[in-house]
Each structure stands twice: as C-alpha cells, then as structure tokens.
A and B are shown apart, each in its own frame.
Chain A
Amino acid sequence: MTTETTHDGATAHGGEHSAEHGMSTRGYINIALILAAITALEVSTYYVDFGPLFLPALLIMMVVKFFMVVSYFMHLKFDNKLFSWLFYAGLFLAVGVYVAALGTFHFFIR
C-alpha cells in the first residue's frame, strides 16, 4: 500500500482464515441430522396428539431449528459479534413490533 491506511487495530480480526470456520464437514452433517430429527418430530405433531404441549412444543422446536441454522450454518456463533448484533437487532425488532401490532388486534387472547 502506498497510502496511510494502516489502522490502529480497533478490533482487528484476521478476516479470511480465522475463527469463522469452527466446524468440520462431520460437524455440519451432525447439525443437519439434528435438524432433520427435529423436523420429523415437528411433522409427527400432525399425526400424534400432544395435548396442551402441542403449541409450545412446536414453537420451541421452530426456534431451536432457527438458531441452529443461524449459529452453525451461518457461522454467527463463531464470527465477529458485530454481525450478530446487526442481524439480531433486525430480528428482535421485527418480533417486537409485529407481536405488539398483533397484540393490539387481540390476536393472542382469542
């Protein structure tokens, strides 16, 4: 570089080859197997009566799958925290405003 672009190392982070890839192929396949198993369990609720557990179980499984993909396949767990902040800001804001909006329609107390 001919320019003064050296930075005083704010949160210098190796970029390319560092901790971004904390998983092996085997690890990815394991994650996929767990995801598949949870999906099978989800689908089983359609055939088996889970009683009062039905709704919470489905929602919990959905959330678990969601965060597994985000954390492992999208590497958020291993990546710089700034990426997590930016994405989760959008995610939780979305959940917050839309749950509140549906709340004003008395959506959750019918």
Chain B
Amino acid sequence: MAESATHDAHVTSTGLSNVKLGMWLFLGSECLLFGGLISTYMLYRGRVSNGPTPEQIYDIPFTSVSSFVLLMSSLTMVLAVSAAHNKDDRGTNLWLSVTALLGATFVGGQVYEFTAFYNEGLGFTTSLFGSSFYTLTGFHGVHVTVGIIMLMALVAINKRSKVPGSKSETVEMIGLYWHFVDIVWIIIFTLVYLIPV
C-alpha cells in the first residue's frame, strides 16, 4: 500500500502520477460499493419484524460526538499532507499519529455503540434493520480500521531510511483514502442517524 513513485510523474502522457490516478479511480469505484450498502440500508431500515427500531436505540448525542471526531481527523490528515509536502518529517509523523488516534477513537466509539445496541436486543440476525445497519456501518468501520493501519505503518516505516517511492505522495494517497472514508460517514450520519424512518 505504502508505495508510490514520483520519478514517473514527468514521463506519463497526462503528466499526472500513476498512483494518484489509480487512487481516484479506486475511490470512484468505492462510491458504487458504499452506494449499494447505503441503498440496502435505506430500503430495509424500516423493516423491523423483531427487536428494537432505529428510533428506540440510536443515541444521537453520542454518535454526533464520534462523527465530529472523524470530521476533525480529516483536518489533521490534511495537515499531515501539508507537512509532508514541506518536507517536515516531524510534523508529518505528528499529524499522522494524531489522525490515527482520532480514527481509533471513532472506531472505539463504534465498538461501544455496537455493544450497546447488541445489549439492547439488536443483533446482526435480529431483523432486516439489524442486518443492514451492522453491514453498512461495519463496512465503514473496516475501512477506517484499514486506514488506521496504513497510517501507523506509514509512521513506522517513515523512520526507516529507505522507503520505496516518494514519501509525500504516499502521505497524500493515504490522505485521499482517509478523506473518502470521512465523506462516506458524512452521508451515513445524515441518512442513517439523523433522518428518522
């Protein structure tokens, strides 16, 4: 994942970097993935044959806080990218670590939320609402977790001398991924949590 190269940037037909083009294509593709999961949830959110309904268990204040945390992690991520472009290694590592920490806070919040919901009677197999809720938010959580692993791996290998490719571009790519995960949550927060069935 943490791979890139910039020495090709001046030889490609478009003048753009291969890795960056590839990353944007991947993110375009991910839109269809999350679109499908969100649509499934929207179709099924009101179908509660068994167990609690969304209104009964959503804890809006709690989720608002964790949404805010994830939103702010986008700011720290962009600061990391900025530092990397300025060749500021200490700043890069600092902001990458803060971003990973905020992401971990979000995932921790999600684990807490899942546990709480489960204790209130909403299991994965309880109802269509349960299945589609856990699948959608779970997929998002896995994406955040993958992002955290990439951030931490990047901080770790940044300390090595020889990392393949350009460091600043690698940070930028992970940044794009991280922001994408954030914008997916912006949609989920509104459609799933704030708009009642």
Contact = CB atoms under 8 A, between A and B. Distances in A.
Direct contact, A vs B (beta carbon within 8 Å): yes
Interface of A: 1, 5-7, 9-17, 21, 25, 28-29, 31-32, 35-36, 39, 42-43, 45-46, 55, 58-59, 61-62, 65-66, 69-70, 73-74, 80, 82-83, 86-91, 93-95, 97-98, 101-102, 105, 107
Nearest to A1: B11
Contacts of A15: 6, 9-10, 15-17
Interface of B: 6, 9-17, 20-21, 24-25, 27-32, 34-36, 38-39, 42-43, 60-61, 64, 67-68, 71-72, 74-75, 77-79, 82, 85, 168, 175-176, 179-180, 182-183, 186-187, 189-191, 194-195
Given A13-B15, A13-B16, A28-B78, 16 more contacts: A7-B15, A14-B15, A28-B75, A31-B75, A39-B68, A42-B194, A46-B194, A59-B190, A66-B183, A80-B14, A80-B16, A86-B24, A87-B27, A87-B31, A90-B28, A90-B32
A70 B183 contact: yes
**Interface of A: prevailing SS:** helix
26 contacts: A5-B11, A7-B12, A15-B9, A32-B72, A36-B68, A39-B67, A42-B189, A42-B194, A59-B190, A62-B187, A65-B183, A66-B183, A69-B74, A69-B182, A73-B75, A73-B182, A74-B176, A83-B16, A87-B24, A87-B28, A94-B35, A97-B35, A98-B35, A102-B39, A102-B43, A105-B43
A39 B64 contact: yes
Given A21-B82, A39-B64, A94-B31, A74 B15 contact: no
A10 B190 contact: no
Given A21-B85, A43-B64, A66 B32 contact: no
